Amino acid sequence: MTTSARKKQQTDSGAPNGLADVAAINGAMLSAFAKAGQAYVDGLVAMNEEVMSFANDRMHRNAEMGERLTKCGTWGDVLSLQQDWSRAAMEAYSAETAKLTELATKVQSESWAPLAERAASAGTMQEQ
């Protein structure tokens, strides 16, 4: 290939057309993966913080339950206290499950969003 033919294949940046396109596509894809990974890690941190907060709250409530049990005067008081504690615990676990499900859904959507955006823009680029 002659020198003038090689120059015709080069873009304004000086790189051959094919290599410039590959570099642009790879750079954009790497950026999308980095954003997706960061969103995933951020989401996992948020989920971990939620679980730790919930566990801490449950430990405190369980300790309170133990203290209140020691102050019961009759078996009826013990059973009533246990029933109230059980109901509150079930409600707390149900609410926590809903929170974690919401967080997991958010993690999934936010971590896939950069990749979906990149895929959409790649489709647009191919149409041009």
Q: CA 128 to CA 123: how far, in whole Å? A: 9
Q: How far is CA 81 from the centre of its chain?
A: 38
Q: Which long-range contacts (CB under 8 A, 24 or more apart) does 92-98 make?
A: 92/54, 92/57, 92/58, 92/61, 96/50, 96/54
- pLDDT band at residue 125 using 50, 70 and 90 as cut-offs: low
- Average pLDDT over the chain reads 84
Phi-psi bin for 72: left (phi > 0), alpha (psi -120 to 50), beta?
beta
Q: What is the DSSP letter of 12?
A: T
pLDDT tens digits, residue range 84-107? 999 999 999 999 999 999 999 999
Which pTM value belongs to this model? 0.69
Q: What are the sequence ranges of the domains in the chain?
A: 16-127
Q: Would you say residue 17 has pLDDT above 70? A: no
Residue with tokens 């969103």: 39
Average confidence (pLDDT) over 59-71: 96
Q: CA 36 to CA 117: how far, in whole Å? A: 11
Would you call 10 helix, strand, or coil by DSSP? strand
